A = this chain, B = another copy of it.
Amino acid sequence: MKKRIGIVGAGTAGLHLGLFLRQHDVDVTVYTDRKPDEYSGLRLLNTVAHNAVTVQREVALDVNEWPSEEFGYFGHYYYVGGPQPMRFYGDLKAPSRAVDYRLYQPMLMRALEARGGKFCYDAVSAEDLEGLSEQYDLLVVCTGKYALGKVFEKQSENSPFEKPQRALCVGLFKGIKEAPIRAVTMSFSPGHGELIEIPTLSFNGMSTALVLENHIGSDLEVLAHTKYDDDPRAFLDLMLEKLGKHHPSVAERIDPAEFDLANSSLDILQGGVVPAFRDGHATLNNGKTIIGLGDIQATVDPVLGQGANMASYAAWILGEEILAHSVYDLRFSEHLERRRQDRVLCATRWTNFTLSALSALPPEFLAFLQILSQSREMADEFTDNFNYPERQWDRFSSPERIGQWCSQFAPTIAA
Partner of A401, one of B327, B342, B393, B400: B327
In the assembly, what is the distance between CA of A106 and CA of B280, in Å? 47
Contact across chains for A331 and B393 when beta carbons are under 8 A apart = yes
A394 proximity list for chain B (CB < 8 A): 325, 331
List the number of copies, as a whole number.
Answer: 2
Contact across chains for A404 and B338 when beta carbons are under 8 A apart = no
**A397 CB–B CB distance under 8 Å:** yes
**A263 CB–B CB distance under 8 Å:** no
Instruction: Tell me how far the C-beta of A393 lies from the nearest C-beta in chain B, rounded to whole angstroms.
Output: 7
**A135 CB–B CB distance under 8 Å:** no
Contact with B along A194-215 (1 / 0, CB 8 A): 0000000000000000000000
CB nearest to A405 among chain B residues: B327
In the assembly, what is the distance between CA of A121 and CA of B326, in Å? 51
**A113 CB–B CB distance under 8 Å:** no
A400 proximity list for chain B (CB < 8 A): 327, 329
In the assembly, what is the distance between CA of A398 and CA of B327, in Å? 10
In the assembly, what is the distance between CA of A329 and CA of B342, in Å? 16
Instruction: Tell me how far the C-beta of A301 lies from the nearest C-beta in chain B, rounded to whole angstroms.
Output: 22
Contact with B along A394-415 (1 / 0, CB 8 A): 1001101100100000000000
In the assembly, what is the distance between CA of A401 and CA of B325, in Å? 11
Partner of A404, one of B326, B334, B342: B326
In the assembly, what is the distance between CA of A327 and CA of B398, in Å? 10
Please indicate which of the listed interface residues A325, A327, A397 has the most CB atoms of chain B within 10 Å of its own CB.
A327
Instruction: Tell me how far the C-beta of A385 lies from the nearest C-beta in chain B, rounded to whole angstroms.
Output: 15
Contact with B along A321-335 (1 / 0, CB 8 A): 000011101110010
A327 proximity list for chain B (CB < 8 A): 398, 400-401, 404
A393 proximity list for chain B (CB < 8 A): 331
SS of A interface (majority):
helix
A338 proximity list for chain B (CB < 8 A): 338, 341-342
In the assembly, what is the distance between CA of A394 and CA of B398, in Å? 36
CB nearest to A329 among chain B residues: B398
In the assembly, what is the distance between CA of A334 and CA of B398, in Å? 14
Please indicate which of the listed interface residues A331, A338, A341 has the most CB atoms of chain B within 10 Å of its own CB.
A331
CB nearest to A403 among chain B residues: B327
In the assembly, what is the distance between CA of A151 and CA of B178, in Å? 59
Instruction: Tell me how far the C-beta of A339 lies from the nearest C-beta in chain B, rounded to whole angstroms.
Output: 9
Instruction: Tell me how far the C-beta of A346 lies from the nearest C-beta in chain B, rounded to whole angstroms.
Output: 9
Please indicate which of the listed interface residues A326, A334, A342, A404 has the most CB atoms of chain B within 10 Å of its own CB.
A334
Give residues of chain A (381-401) contacting chain B, Cβ–Cβ below 8 Å.
393-394, 397-398, 400-401
Instruction: Tell me how far the C-beta of A100 lies from the nearest C-beta in chain B, rounded to whole angstroms.
Output: 36
A401 proximity list for chain B (CB < 8 A): 327, 329, 331
A326 proximity list for chain B (CB < 8 A): 404
A341 proximity list for chain B (CB < 8 A): 338
Given contacts A326-B404, A404-B326, contact A397 B331 (CB under 8 A): yes
Query: 20 A–B contact pairs at CB < 8 A?
Result: A325-B394, A326-B404, A327-B398, A327-B400, A327-B401, A327-B404, A329-B397, A329-B398, A329-B400, A329-B401, A330-B397, A331-B393, A331-B394, A331-B397, A331-B398, A331-B401, A334-B342, A338-B338, A338-B341, A338-B342
Q: Beyond A325-B394, A329-B397, A330-B397: 14 further Cβ-contacts under 8 Å?
A: A326-B404, A327-B398, A327-B400, A327-B401, A327-B404, A329-B398, A329-B400, A331-B393, A331-B394, A331-B397, A331-B398, A334-B342, A338-B341, A338-B342
